[in-house]
A and B are shown apart, each in its own frame.
Chain A
Amino acid sequence: MKDATTDSTGMAYLTSLPRRVVTVWVPLSVFLFVLLFPFYWMVVTTFKPNEELLSREGNPFWVRNPTLAHVKKLLFDTAYPEWLWNTMVVSVVSTLLSLACSVFAAYAIERLRFRGSRHVGMAIFLAYLVPPSILFIPLAAIVFQAGLFDSRLALILTYPTFLIPFCTWLLMGYFKSIPYELEECALIDGASRWQILVRIILPLAVPGLISAGIFAFTLSWNEFIYALTFISSSEVKTVPVGVITELVEGDVYHWGSLMAGALMGSVPVAVLYSFFVEYYVSGLTGAVKE
């Protein structure tokens, strides 16, 4: 793998510079422009005063009189801070819960090799393929019956349905790469399975735990349909649902505060991602490669 990347200059010297500009740099710049433009647009709109937003004159790509009015309105006149807090609580708790469940499940499936573990592993993979949009109606009925409707607990308990299968699948891959000999030595030295898991397997699987954790966190931060269905009071909403359902009032769209809401809901997860890009990418590709 290392060789493949360092060697990838391989045949590049065969293509001339002008040709490379046309075949690589031009298309790549177009891709980057299109992929990043909506974010630029979010930022610009957030700081534009209303007169500039609703005028066709002048250059729309720049802000002439930047203003913090939209951000201020969002923070002080709406329940936005509460939504941020809710999203944070729900994401963190459901991620930790799912990680804990997944560590045990993955260890049992991959290392204990109990009878039927292969089938359980397959079932976990299939569970990952079940999309939330076919589960939310019966789940709404269950949440309602259990008296969890309109509470954060409803989200904390339902998010693991898509987090556990993913995390377990990812951790199974990591556990597989840890040599059996380590575990055998510890067994001979009289360690219990619990000690092996805590002292040997987990420390070696830290990168896997980080990947799974980051991925699970972003998935729960982005979740929409469950939060839309199971929550109705403003003070327990999450950011994506709150912005969509409460900031859109009638026919007049307050684009400035909508964009400020979208921007501030995206920044935390983008910042976290930027610190752990490598882990995130290895989680993404690791889950697909299996």
Chain B
Amino acid sequence: MDRILDNRNALGLLFMLPAATLLLAFLTYPLGLGTWLGFTDAKVGRAGEFVGLENFVFLFGDPVARLSLFNTLFYTAVASVLKFALGLWLAVLLNEHLPFKAFLRAIVLLPFIVPTALSAIAFWWIYDAQFSVVSWTLQRMGLIDRYIDFLGDPWMARFSTIAANVWRGVPFIAICLLAGLQTISPSLYEAAALDGASGWQRVRHVTLPLLTPIIAVVMTFSVLFTFTDFQLIYVLTRGGPLNATPLMATLSFQRAIPGGALGEGAALATAMVPFLLAAILFSYFGLQRRAWQQGGADR
């Protein structure tokens, strides 16, 4: 017994066992099962038969599914760009010499801590068609004469959900980038300033290059989780008005769980995988090149 426990391979295996069991049973196996289900006509309570690409062909011809792909790409692109720009700005602001710095940092992260489904309810009420506080304020200021129907019009609904997503995502990006900013030595900025660099030039030629590796990782996470977002849309619009705002994740839920078409839902979920892989590979190779550029190990 003692001999086994001294062997690092045997002990390593033993120590990996609990985590590996859970992950293999509830992550790897479902990942494979999900892909398989996408090629079957499984319904709730009935194992499906293999039907080849039928689900994918059907979804490709389905206008709602195509719209969900468009919505997902649009939602991810617009929200990610906004989150990055605002997050970087907020990080730079928080990196200034401020009183109560730790306190400010702590409350900035609050939107990220609170359950999304619950903060989405607050947004739902803020976006209410009849009693929206935003409409009330704008009307009192004389900017609009009718209350805005935030969630009732397709494009308004898209932008309203994007705004809520940005609200939740900015703190995460800002705090992560702030951690990166704090590792940049102020003497670099002083040197750049002495060489006559303007404020914007200092951001462009000092901050951004040094921050690139951390930006790549943070934005990969952000893009992945925005692309597969579910809660906000589910709470705010349920894919409405008139099926105009579903994302791929919410549509696959609708089709698979209340709709009972497990195979079709799984096919929709599987269709997200290539996009996720593309995002991961993009940032992975982006990162490697940067490590070499900065004189890091050339692997």
Binding site for B on A (CB under 8 A): 1, 4-5, 7-12, 14, 24, 27-28, 31-32, 34-36, 38-39, 41-42, 45, 53-54, 56, 60-61, 100-102, 104-105, 107-109, 112-115, 117, 120, 127, 129-142, 144, 157-158, 160-161, 164-165, 168, 192-194, 218, 221-222, 224-225, 228-229, 239-241, 243-244, 255, 258-259, 261-262, 265-266, 269-270, 273-274, 277, 280-281, 284-285, 288-289
9-residue interface stretch from B61-69, B77-85, B102-110: B102-110
Residue B53 CB within 8 A of the other chain: no
CB of B18 within 8 A of CB of A284, answer no
Residue B272 CB within 8 A of the other chain: yes
Residue B151 CB within 8 A of the other chain: no
CB of B266 within 8 A of CB of A137, answer yes
Residue B96 CB within 8 A of the other chain: yes
Residue B217 CB within 8 A of the other chain: yes
Encoded as 1 (CB less than 8 Å from any A CB) or 0, chain B from 117 to 137 comes to: 111011101101001010010
Give me 5 A-to-B residue pairs in the complex whose CB atoms sit less than 8 angstroms apart, sorted by A's number: A28-B98, A45-B122, A108-B13, A225-B231, A280-B113
CB of B182 within 8 A of CB of A5, answer yes
A193–B15 alpha-carbon span in the complex (Å): 11
Total number of B residues with any Cβ neighbor in A under 8 Å: 106
CB of A138 within 8 A of CB of B31, answer yes
Q: Which residues of A contact B171 (CB under 8 A)?
A: 35
Q: Which residues of B contact A140 (CB under 8 A)?
A: 256-257, 262
Q: Which residue of A lies closest to B272 (CB)?
A: A134
CB of B12 within 8 A of CB of A164, answer no
Q: Which residue of B lies closest to A285 (CB)?
A: B179
A265–B122 alpha-carbon span in the complex (Å): 12
Q: Which residues of B contact A288 (CB under 8 A)?
A: 176, 179, 214, 217-218, 221
Please name the 7 residue pairs, one residue from A and one from B, whose CB atoms are nearest each other, closest first: A114-B12, A240-B117, A108-B15, A285-B179, A105-B19, A131-B228, A133-B249
A262–B123 alpha-carbon span in the complex (Å): 11
A173–B18 alpha-carbon span in the complex (Å): 20
Residue B156 CB within 8 A of the other chain: no
Which of B6, B34, B136 makes the CB contact (< 8 A) with A135? B34
Which of B117, B131, B224 makes the CB contact (< 8 A) with A244? B117
CB of A112 within 8 A of CB of B11, answer yes
Q: Within the complex, what minimum Cβ distance (angstroms) separates B279 from chain A?
A: 9
A87–B2 alpha-carbon span in the complex (Å): 42
Given contacts A9-B97, A137-B252, A142-B29, A102 and B257 within 8 Å (CB-CB): no
Residue B297 CB within 8 A of the other chain: no
Q: Which residue of B lies closest to A12 (CB)?
A: B97
Residue B185 CB within 8 A of the other chain: yes
CB of A266 within 8 A of CB of B114, answer yes
Q: Within the complex, what minimum Cβ distance (angstroms) separates B151 from chain A?
A: 12
Which of A137, A222, A244 makes the CB contact (< 8 A) with B269? A137
A54–B186 alpha-carbon span in the complex (Å): 53
